[in-house]
């Protein structure tokens, strides 16, 4: 690929790249020309294999963000990285009245604390080489809406929207773009419980203007755009890719 959407010569790191949205983003970035470090706690072989089979460049990196500081050394250990996609995330469902501290902490650690410290170490490495960088955080409709039975998920994704804007304010003039994507209802492991619940599934589908669940591949183009020179003046944006859900 050439032109303003090209990622030729760039190196990207995608967390949670073994499946779902992270896998789709890794594939799209590689198609746009980036070499992709596919990071995750499970085997990355499938994603790396798919990228290599299509003629792209990728490598796997074991990274378990249940320890939110685990990502701190990755940018020192893996050479210069130009693009950081903070995709890894978890969800725990229970009524707020019964919600446990364990479910609160586990979600906040992976979805918010780990992301802040990955952004910090990425920015330190970019600034140390006087380079340029792109950060894309994967937010959610629950960065804007309340949701139900997912208190720590809503808190983490609402926090991530705020964090995206704060980091954009601090780093926009230093050559780092910080933005987010808010996916709508995408058919992945994360939403399996919703699709299995017939009445929730029906209610969700009836409210999506596009009339269908999103596919993980629907998120890839937005990630390429925000990672590319085409987005050089885009800072602190949260791009909804939701089949029109939030427009309704």
Ligand X SMILES: NC(=O)c1ccc[n+]([C@@H]2O[C@H](COP(=O)([O-])OP(=O)(O)OC[C@H]3O[C@@H](n4cnc5c(N)ncnc54)[C@H](OP(=O)(O)O)[C@@H]3O)[C@@H](O)[C@H]2O)c1
- Which residues here bind ligand X, judged by CB under 6 A? 15-16, 18-22, 40-42, 63-66, 87-90, 110, 138, 140, 183, 185-186, 188-191
Closer residue to ligand X (CB): 110 or 126? 110
Residues identified as active-site? 153
In angstroms, give the least distance from the CB of 231 to ligand X: 19
Whole-angstrom distance, CA of residue 205 vs CA of residue 210: 9
Q: How far is the CB of 91 from ligand X (least distance, A)?
A: 6
Contacts of 63 (CB under 8 A, 6+ apart): 15, 39, 40, 41, 70, 71, 74
Least distance between ligand X and beta carbon 17 (Å): 7
Cβ-based nearer residue to ligand X, 189 or 199: 189
Minimum CB separation of residue 41 from ligand X in Å reads 4
Question: In whole angstroms, what is the distance from residue 185 CA to residue 189 CA?
Answer: 11
Residue with Cβ nearer ligand X (90 or 127):
90
Cα dihedral angle (186, 215, 71, 124), rounded to 10 degrees? -100
Give me the residues paired with residue 84 across strands. Answer: 13, 135
For ligand X, the closer CB: 188 or 227: 188
Compare residues 23 and 125 and give the one whose CB is closer to ligand X: 23
Q: What is the rounded distance in angstroms from the CA atom of residue 239 to the CA atom of residue 81?
A: 23
- Which residues, 6 or more positions from 15, have their beta carbon under 8 angstroms from its beta carbon? 22, 39, 40, 63, 65, 71, 85, 86, 87, 88, 118
State the DSSP code for 209: T
DSSP state of 109: I
At 212, is the secondary structure helix, strand, or coil? coil
In the complex, minimum distance from the CB of residue 216 to ligand X, in angstroms, rounded to a whole number? 6
């Amino acid at each position: 690929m050439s032109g303003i959407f090209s990622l030729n010569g760039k190196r990207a790191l995608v967390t949670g790249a073994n499946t779902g949205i992270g896998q789709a983003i890794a594939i799209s970035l590689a198609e746009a020309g980036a070499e992709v470090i596919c990071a995750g706690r499970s085997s990355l072989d499938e994603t790396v294999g798919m990228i290599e089979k299509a003629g792209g460049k990728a490598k796997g990196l074991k990274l378990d963000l249940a320890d939110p500081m685990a990502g701190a050394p990755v940018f020192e250990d893996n050479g210069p990285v130009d693009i950081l996609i903070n995709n890894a995330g978890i969800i725990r469902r229970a009524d707020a009245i019964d919600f446990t501290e364990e479910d609160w902490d586990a979600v906040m650690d992976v979805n918010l604390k780990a992301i802040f410290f990955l952004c910090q170490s990425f920015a330190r490495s970019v600034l140390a080489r006087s380079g340029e960088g792109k950060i894309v955080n994967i937010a959610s409709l629950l960065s804007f809406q309340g949701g139900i039975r997912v208190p720590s998920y809503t808190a983490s994704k609402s926090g991530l929207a705020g964090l995206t804007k704060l980091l954009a304010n601090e780093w926009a003039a230093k050559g780092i773009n910080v933005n987010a994507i808010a996916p709508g209802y995408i058919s992945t492991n994360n939403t399996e419980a919703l699709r299995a619940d017939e009445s929730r599934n029906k209610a969700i589908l009836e409210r999506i203007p596009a009339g269908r669940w999103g596919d993980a591949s629907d998120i890839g183009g937005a990630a390429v755009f925000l990672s590319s020179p085409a987005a050089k003046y885009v800072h602190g944006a949260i791009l909804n890719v939701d089949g029109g859900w939030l427009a309704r």
